[in-house]
Every structure is written in C-alpha cells, then in structure tokens.
Amino acid sequence: MATYIIRRFFLMILTLIGMSILIFVMLRLVPGNISDILFDAAGMVNEADKARLEAELGLDKPIIVQYWTWISGLMTGDLGYAYVSEKPALDEILPRIPVTAKLALLALIFSVLIGVPLGVISAVKQDSILDYSLRVFSLSGLSLPSFWLALLILMAFVHYFGWIPIYTDKPASIWHEIGLLSIPALAVGFRASALIMRLTRSSMLEVLRQDYIRTARAKGASTASVNYNHALRNAVLPVITIIGIEAAFLIGGLIVTETVFNIPGVARFLVEAIRWRDYPIVQNLVMFIAVVTVVVNFLVDMAYVLLDPRIKYDD
C-alpha cells in the first residue's frame, strides 16, 4: 500500500508538471497579450512605450524564462502580479476560492442527497410508474443547461417573491451566505444529481441480479437488508467514481452560474481574466483547477480501499 501511494504521488507530480507546461504554452499561443489590450484601451500607438511596458511585465523574455519564473514562484507561494489590478495575484485569487468552494460543495451535497436515494428507489421499483417518472426526471436534468435553469430560477423569484437571489453586498452571516448559495447550487447540482441517479440505478440493477443477492433473499433476509446492506454497498463504487469526477468538474464548471447569480468566485474571475489576457491570473486559476482534479482522483482511488475490502494495492 505504501509503495502504491508513493508511486501514485509521483504520478500526480508528473501530471501536474505536464499540465503546467500545457497551460503556459497554450496561453502564449493566443493572439495578443496584455500590453496590446492596455494600449488599445488607452488609444496609444508609441511602440517604444509598448516595448518598455512589455519589459516591465517580463513579456520580452524567452518563453522558457517566463515559465521558470512562474513555476518557481508557485513553489514559493509567489504567484506574480495581476496585470490589470496591479495587485499580487494571490491577493486577488485567495478571497474568491472559499466562495467557489462553498458553492461547489453545496452543489455536490445536493446532487448526492438527491441522486443516490432516487437512483436506489428507481432500481428497486424497476418498471413501475415511479421508476418511469424518476427516469424522466433524470433525463430532464441531463437535458436542461444549467445557465438556462438558473435564468428560469431568477425569473421565478422575481415574479413570485419580488427579489433576486444574487450577491449585491457581502453576506451578513454564514447562514445568509449559505442561503444565497443554495439556490445556484441547486441549479448546478440538478444536472449532477440526474447523472448520479442514472448511474446508481444501473449499478443497483446489475448487483440485484447477482447470485449472492438471491441467496440472501432465500435465507430470509429482509428487503431493506438486501437492498441496502448487500446491494447498495456493492453498487456504490461506480457512484463514488462519478461523484469524484463531478466534484472536480464543479470547481471549473461554475463559470456561467457564478456570472448569472453575480457570485464573486473563482470561475467568474477566470472569465474576466481571460478577457483581459491577464496571464498570471488565468494560468494560476487553471492550474488550481488542475490540482483539484488530480487530488480528487487520488482521493477516489483511496476511497475504493475503504469501501471495498476486496481491493488491495500490493506493495
């Protein structure tokens, strides 16, 4: 087990190094840079001033030097400066991470609390009216875009309650913030819950057809014991996988939702940074999303060992 963890850790490091190179190079392939944008916005045409600005920003240095400056700064906690605000990138990014993390966590909680129980019920009540209704519900969740559902929610709140559940001022308390985040979290978590529900249903149906389930029923085990103690525990591994994938997806997939609900999180800030070609912000935020994705995948692998004793990682 220890050997596997060490090997997996080094694989994570190699993956992140490859991702950092890809992120850095792809950003530089995009036409234009921050100096072009700043000069166009100010209406300046003096090439000498533009060259001086590029030198101040470090854009005149070779790509290898720029990459090493960035990656060495990451290892020491220096993420550089935001070109637009002229503030340290860490000061711009750090306050926004908890907001997006809370929103993603709430969306994941809602998706699991809705998707897993409904998937189990749909499998247990296979081919019943309830099963067909839940399958239509899941298809609607997979079909409706999150941004469109978010707009419908905003319109409904305006029509029925006369107010819009978006960030205007800083929330007065944590409960006020959770209340504001719950509505967009439900909009985002609806699609994830539909995916989790369908996978839970198919996994449960596969397990319920196994011989040991029939044996448990023949021995007189109750329906609840068979469904939850035997079937669900063995059907949960594929569900854990998709929950991990959704957790990583939610961190980077909240761009439209944060924009619609005016949430000052990482995803919305990333869109603004892309528009301004603010390299330090964009590459650090995309790298942050990559780190979250890799770490979540590692945690899912570790969860397999805890949930299924049959899985062993030999040294």
Question: What is the model's pLDDT at position 53?
Answer: 67
**Ranges in the chain, pLDDT < 50:** none
In the chain, where does the domain assigned CATH 1.10.3720.10 lie?
Answer: 95-307
- Only one residue has tokens 């967009």, namely 184
Beta carbons within 10 angstroms of residue 54's beta carbon: 16
Question: 312 in the Ramachandran plot: left (φ > 0), alpha (ψ -120 to 50) or beta?
Answer: beta
Question: What is the model's pLDDT at position 49?
Answer: 67
Which residue, 275, 254, 278, is CA-closest to 266?
254
- Encoding tokens for residue 134? 């839940």
Instruction: Report DSSP letters for the chain, one per residue.
Output: -HHHHHHHHHHHHHHHHHHHHHHHHHHHHSS--HHHHHHHHHT---HHHHHHHHHHHTTTS-HHHHHHHHHHHHHHT---B-TTT-SBHHHHHGGGHHHHHHHHHHHHHHHHHHHHHHHHHHHHTTTSHHHHHHHHHHHHHHHS-HHHHHHHHHHHHHHHHSS--S-SS--SSHHHHHHHHHHHHHHHHHHHHHHHHHHHHHHHHHHHTSHHHHHHHHTT--HHIIIIIIIIHHHHHHHHHHHHHHHHHHHHS-HHHHHHTT--SHHHHHHHHHHTT-HHHHHHHHHHHHHHHHHHHHHHHHHHHHH-TT-----
Beta carbons within 10 angstroms of residue 163's beta carbon: 8
Angle at 130 between CA 128 and CA 135, to 5 degrees: 100
Question: What is the model's pLDDT at position 315?
Answer: 52
Question: What is the model's pLDDT at position 32?
Answer: 62
CA-to-CA dists, residue 83 to 175, 255, 299, angstroms: 35, 21, 35
Which amino acid is residue 129, in one-letter code?
A: I
- Only one residue has tokens 């993420």, namely 79
Q: Is the pTM of this model over 0.85?
A: no
**81, β-bridge pairs:** 88
Question: What is the model's pLDDT at position 252?
Answer: 61
Which amino acid is residue 138, in one-letter code?
A: S
Architecture of domain 95-307: Orthogonal Bundle (1.10)
Question: What is the model's pLDDT at position 1?
Answer: 65
CB 297 within 8 A of CB 244: yes
Question: What is the model's pLDDT at position 313?
Answer: 58
Question: What is the model's pLDDT at position 169?
Answer: 63
Which letter, b or e, does each residue of 170-182 get, where b requires 16 or more Cβ atoms within 10 Å of its Cβ? eeeeeeebeebbb
